[in-house]
Structure 1
């Protein structure tokens, strides 16, 4: 059964996702262990931009619009694949960036953002 401290840490990590490209790091060890870890040794649990904080948002593709597309565009920016504006419109620039990301990460290059693509986006190495 999780302790109150580990639940509070998980809630705090989730709350950190409100900022653009925020790392959400869940601390499950004792506070001493967490404070001793050097920042270079800590990997983000997942990246969230704050537009859609679900671990696996719905599957999207052209011509989707809305906050889930903004989350996609932001994550593609964080991963170094998209340089356009965060508009929430799944346009040709978004599709091109997505296909390059999928190709580079050995994900079926179909231009559709499903569970495997969301997972890779949430856990990519940030440039």
Structure 2
């Protein structure tokens, strides 16, 4: 009985390794399924008319935002950067850390703005003019 149990565990471990090796590919190639409750809690993103300022809905002001800060303004910056970038998206976690600062610097450089990693009035305007 002990041998059969060990064989079953070894088989389950091997099958688990196969599933885990395939799952990340499948997880990134399809839309996540939402439960009926979660689906109803997700608000649709409104379409923005060309020329209208872009907003993600976290914050609509233009307070200077920089590394070390957190909250709704930081979430708005992260979300707006994700909208224009084609690379690895930022986590919209509301924490202005090194990765967010790096993306802000990159964005400022591409837009010909002063490159300082701080989201001031000019950077806000450029982010919203997507």
- TM-score of the pair, normalised by structure 2: 0.61
Asked if residue 50 in structure 1 is aligned to residue 57 in structure 2, the reply is yes
CA RMSD of aligned residues (A): 1.8
Q: 1:72 aligns with which of 77, 89, 104?
A: 77
Query: Which residue of the partner structure matches residue 84 of structure 1?
Result: 90
Secondary structure class of the residue paired with 1:46: coil
More strand by share: 1
Larger Rg: 2
Q: Deviations over 1:76-127 (max 9, x none)?
A: 0001066121000001110010000000000000011001000000012xxx
More helix by share: 2
Distance in 2 separating the partners of 1:70 and 1:100? 17
- Deviating 4+ runs (over 3 angstroms): 22-25
Change (3 A) 1:19 1:62: farther
Structure 1 residue runs of 5 or longer lacking an equivalent are 1-17, 26-42
Secondary structure class of the residue paired with 1:48: coil
Structure 2 residue runs of 5 or longer lacking an equivalent are 1-42
- Asked if 2 retains the 8 angstrom alpha-carbon contact of 1:48 and 1:75, the reply is yes
- Asked if 2 retains the 8 angstrom alpha-carbon contact of 1:62 and 1:95, the reply is yes
- TM-score of the pair, normalised by structure 1: 0.62
Q: How many residues end up aligned between the 2 structures?
A: 87
